[in-house]
Amino acid sequence: MTQFLRTRSKVVVLTHAKPDGDAVGSSTAVVRALNLAAGREVATAWHAGPMPPWYGPMMGDTPGLVLPREGPPADAEADAIVVVDTGSWPQLEHVRSWLSWQREQTLVLDHHVHGDADVGDQRIIDTSAASAAQVVAPLCVSLLGVKDVASLPQPIADALYLGVASDTGWFRHSNVSPAVFDFAAALLRAGARHVPLHQLTEQQEGESRLRLMARALESLRLLEGGTLAVMSLTLEDFAQTNAQPGESGGFVDLAMQIAKVRVSAVLTEVESREGGRLTKISLRSKEGDNAVDVNRLTRALGGGGHVRAAGARVAMTLAQTRDEIARLVREQEPK
Amino acid sequence: MTQFLRTRSKVVVLTHAKPDGDAVGSSTAVVRALNLAAGREVATAWHAGPMPPWYGPMMGDTPGLVLPREGPPADAEADAIVVVDTGSWPQLEHVRSWLSWQREQTLVLDHHVHGDADVGDQRIIDTSAASAAQVVAPLCVSLLGVKDVASLPQPIADALYLGVASDTGWFRHSNVSPAVFDFAAALLRAGARHVPLHQLTEQQEGESRLRLMARALESLRLLEGGTLAVMSLTLEDFAQTNAQPGESGGFVDLAMQIAKVRVSAVLTEVESREGGRLTKISLRSKEGDNAVDVNRLTRALGGGGHVRAAGARVAMTLAQTRDEIARLVREQEPK
């Protein structure tokens, strides 16, 4: 893989749409490593938005392109393509037509269980890795011919640190392992600037987010004997606090602080394409005896996700959705 | 130190009053190591409250005593005393009279800069350590005669993980270093159960905390061109949400999410001993150019702390305090 990439002069690095810290971090690391190794600009990252607020400062002068809605330019060419942090077509819709006929020169580096074998001929999939950053790091080491991760240049270490920190909930989630800490230690030794990275990505909000958070907390209802927490946000809540749709991200974790809560839900009103109102559901559940499987719960509503984190979008009012979730939680109670 | 402790049959392990995760974690680890090494109960932890809500489940059946307000029983005896996570008399007021004549058999293991040399004759102070857990770990290894931290028994690894995780803000603060991650990796290899520990310590709140958080967010004022965030909580806010004085802990971090905010303050009304009202100030500031020194700021109000985190207690109303903080922030602006 390294040898193949070393001989290329026009590499495009791709990742899933709406990229998170790991997608931006691991794609940026690969672009930086390729360009440093070549001593000139051979690689560019293509991203598809909406982009996180810290995207610009994180990228700095790393060659990157935020694709327009219609996808890549028809005449865009590449002699190698690297896809990171995804390997499945539904997450690559924005480049599918451009990418689908180039599988022979496409490499996939991912850590997700689900993927499509025909995205690229060469695939490195490590499902034991907590982040794509851990999967692309050996490639960066090899491209630059350095000894190990701790010897990587700081700009690459920064990008990889962003990846592993954000995909592990800044080292709090259940995917944290000895390998994650070994990796993070090596990145700090390489000079990764973790405090500015935390500031950059976790402290980039506007006043509107806190105004919206106040509304969400005011709406908190504790149901099912206090084990189900539901917060609800109307379109008016967003309008009156000047908040954008994405700004309620993470609110679902707030109620997880409450000891008795086993399932936390945030319901937000969104406009449908036809102008009506839908309800977007974000759900989390805690580990433990008789833990609620929110993937199963949201599948009953046409959504899905993971066992502990899932979502859906339903044609119901906020109140109807709240009742329906309570019913589905009850359904999972042991008989 | 190990040899001395091995020959003792009645060891008391002490730490600072109002113990946090590192104080409880490192003291518990030492007690567990001493008792495991002896094969019988030779050590007990003495703690002075108020204790965190997770204290009971964290201690489990580890010998521990929450001291009454009047201090240790007059006839309490020990043939060795280990003081962890502090080494200064003001933090040991609750045991001072009992401890002060026993310095010859007292060991201090700490990571703080300030300490009193006469607390104990044997002192291991490592100010480069992010947590006391890192300072007591080699003692645990040595007492048990195991190879390294990764070989420690799980109950000790759990206690040490709680220490390092809580003193680093769960790996987000500026004191995170390669050594911190190396230590955390070794503890996971020893079997530390990080997910239950996170649940135990970060998800033990009551409904009242979120009701109080809603009040705090509703009170948010952005001053000084949006760079100073101030939240204010009255005694009535606490009463109406059924919240206890400690439940506003951490609220000061909420406004740090806002990109423009450089200083965040939470002001809470508290009753004075004479029945009047005082204002308790909790302050944080961000790193960066012209960062505000909140230690200096609070010293002007009779308080103090660190450069980035400090507090004070003043005989002013909430509104007066807010104005005074704004004035002191302006005073630090470069001329």
Dist. CA B299–CA B306, nearest whole Å? 10
Asked whether B194 and A177 are in contact (CB, 8 A), the reply is no
From first CA to last CA, the distance across chain A in angstroms is: 54
Q: How far is A81 from A103, CA to CA, in rounded Å?
A: 9
**Is a pLDDT exceeding 80 seen at residue A111?**
yes
| pLDDT in the model for residue B10 | 96
Asked if residue B231 and residue B170 are part of one domain, the reply reads: no
How buried is residue A65: exposed, middle or buried, by Cβ count under 10 Å (0-12/13-18/19+)?
A: middle
Phi, then psi, of B114 in degrees rounded to 5: -90, 135
Which tokens belong to B188?
Answer: 């996971």
CATH number of the domain to which A326 belongs:
3.10.310.30
* CB contact at 8 A, B305 and B295: yes
Q: Domain holding B123: CATH number?
A: 3.90.1640.10
A54, A162, A171, A189: best to mutate for the B interface, most B CBs within 10 A:
A171
Residue with tokens 């500015």: A196
The DSSP code sequence of A277-325 is EEEEEEEEE--STT---HHHHHHTTT-EE-SSEEEEEESS-HHHHHHHH
Give, rounded to a whole angstrom, the gap between the first and last alpha carbons of chain B: 54
Residue A74 clears pLDDT 80, i.e. is over it: no
Domain range holding A269? 208-331
Picking from A268, A273, A207, A279, the residue whose alpha carbon sits closest to that of residue A243 is: A207
Q: Pick from B202, B234, B255: which residue ends a domain?
A: B202
Shared domain for B195 and B211, answered yes or no, is no
* pLDDT (0 to 100) of residue A306: 80
User: B277 vs chain A: nearest CA distance in angstroms?
Assistant: 26
The last residue of a domain, from among B157, B177, B202: B202
**pLDDT for A291:** 92
**Given this model, what pLDDT does residue B53 score?**
84
Residues A20 and A73 placed together within one structural domain of the fold: yes
- Give the neighbor-by-neighbor strand order of the sheet with A221-223: A221-223, A228-233, A263-271, A277-285, A309-314, A304-305
Residue B251 has pLDDT above 90, yes or no: yes
Q: How many residues does chain A have?
A: 335
Q: Are A202 and A170 in contact (CB under 8 A)?
A: yes
Q: How many domains does chain B have?
A: 2
Q: In angstroms, rounded to a whole number, what is the distance separating the alpha carbons of residues A150 and A261?
A: 41
Residue A64 pLDDT exceeds 80: yes
Q: Select from A171, A202, A233 the last residue of a domain.
A: A202
DSSP for residue A89: G
Q: Which of residues 236-265 of B touch A (CB under 8 A)?
A: 254-261
Residues 8-67 of B with CB under 8 A from A: 53
**Residues of chain A contacting B249 with CB distance shorter than 8 Å:** none
Q: How confident is the model at residue B265 (pLDDT cuts 50, 70, 90)?
A: very high
Tell which wins on pLDDT, A335 or A147: A147
Residues A64 and A170 in one domain: yes
Residue B250 has pLDDT above 90, yes or no: no
Q: Do A176 and B199 count as a contact with CB atoms less than 8 A apart?
A: no
Question: Residue A115 — pLDDT band, cuts 50, 70, 90?
Answer: confident
Instruction: List, as ranges, residues 56-115 from A with C-beta within 8 Å of B.
Output: none
Is B254 in contact with A176 (Cβ distance < 8 A)?
A: no
Q: Do B181 and A178 touch (CB under 8 A)?
A: no
Considering the domain architecture, whether residues B187 and B233 belong to the same structural domain is answered as no
SS3 label, residue B316:
coil
pLDDT at B335 over 80: no
Name the burial class of residue A274, with classes exposed (0-12), middle (13-18) and buried (19+) by CB atoms within 10 angstroms of its CB: exposed
pLDDT of residue B152: 98
Q: What is the pLDDT of residue A177?
A: 97
What does the pLDDT average to over B261-268? 97
Burial of B32 (0-12, 13-18, 19+ CB in 10 A): buried
Predicted confidence at residue A186, as pLDDT, reads: 98
Cα separation of B153 and B277, whole Å? 49
Residue A276 phi, psi dihedral angles, 5° rounding: -80, -170
Let me know: does A84 contact A139? Beta carbons within 8 Å: no
- Statement to judge: residues B295 and B311 lie in one domain: yes
| pLDDT tens-digit map of B294-312 | 999 999 999 988 888 889 9
Q: Is the pLDDT of residue A335 over 80?
A: no
Is there a contact between B257 and A188 if contact means CB atoms under 8 Å apart?
Answer: no
Asked if A261 and A112 sit in the same domain, the reply is no
Nearest to B78 by CA among B55, B56, B94, B101: B101
HSE-up of residue A265 (Cα within 13 Å, Cβ side): 34
Average pLDDT along chain B: 94
In angstroms and rounded to an integer, the radius of gyration of the C-alpha atoms of chain A is 21
Q: Are residues A188 and A214 in the same domain?
A: no
Residue of A nearest to B216 (CA): A214
- As a whole number of angstroms, the distance between CA B23 and CA B25 comes to 6
Distance CA B305, CA B324 (A): 18
pLDDT of B145 above 90: yes
Per-residue pLDDT at A327 = 97
Distance from CA of A233 to the nearest CA of B (A): 14
CA angle B22, B23, B28 (to 5 degrees): 100
- Starting from the edge strand earliest in sequence, which strands make up the sheet with B263-271, in order? B221-223, B228-233, B263-271, B277-285, B309-314, B304-305
pLDDT confidence tier of residue B29, bands split at 50, 70 and 90? very high
Name the percent of chain A lying above pLDDT 70. 100
Q: Are residues B292 and B238 in the same domain?
A: yes
Quick: pLDDT tens for A270-308: 998 888 899 999 999 998 888 999 999 999 999 988 888
Give SS3 for A331: helix
B25 and B159 both lie in a single domain: yes
pLDDT > 90? residue B161: yes
* Model pLDDT for residues A181-221, shown as the tens digit of each residue: 999 999 999 999 999 999 888 888 899 999 999 999 999 99
Residue B58 has pLDDT above 90, yes or no: yes
Query: And the tokens for A333?
Result: 């109670």
Buried b or exposed e, range A246-273, using 16+ CB within 10 angstroms: ebbeebbbbbbbbbbbbbbbbbbbeeee
- At residue A85, the pLDDT reads 95
Q: How confident is the model at residue B288 (pLDDT cuts 50, 70, 90)?
A: confident
Residue A173 C-alpha, separation from nearest chain B C-alpha, in angstroms: 7
* Res A82: pLDDT: 98
Q: Does B277 touch chain A (CB under 8 A)?
A: no
Band (pLDDT 50/70/90 cuts) for residue B233 is: very high
Nearest to A36 by CA among A124, A192, A142: A142
pLDDT at B219 over 90: yes
- Cα atoms found within 13 Å of the Cα of residue A233, Cβ hemisphere only: 32
Mode of pairing for the β-strands spanning A263-271 and A277-285: antiparallel
Calculate mean pLDDT across residues A223-227: 96
Task: Report pLDDT for A268.
Answer: 97
CA–CA separation, A263 and A285 (whole Å): 4
| pLDDT score recorded for residue B70 | 83
Cis peptide before B50 (omega within 30 of 0): yes
Picking from A176, A203, A258, the nearest residue to B257 by CB comes out as: A203
Same domain, A247 and A190: no
Do A68 and A198 fall into the same domain? yes
Rounded CA separation A277/B288 (Å): 43
**C-beta of residue A38 within 8 angstroms of C-beta of residue A79:** no
Write down the pLDDT at residue A233.
Answer: 98
Q: Is the pLDDT of residue B74 over 80?
A: no
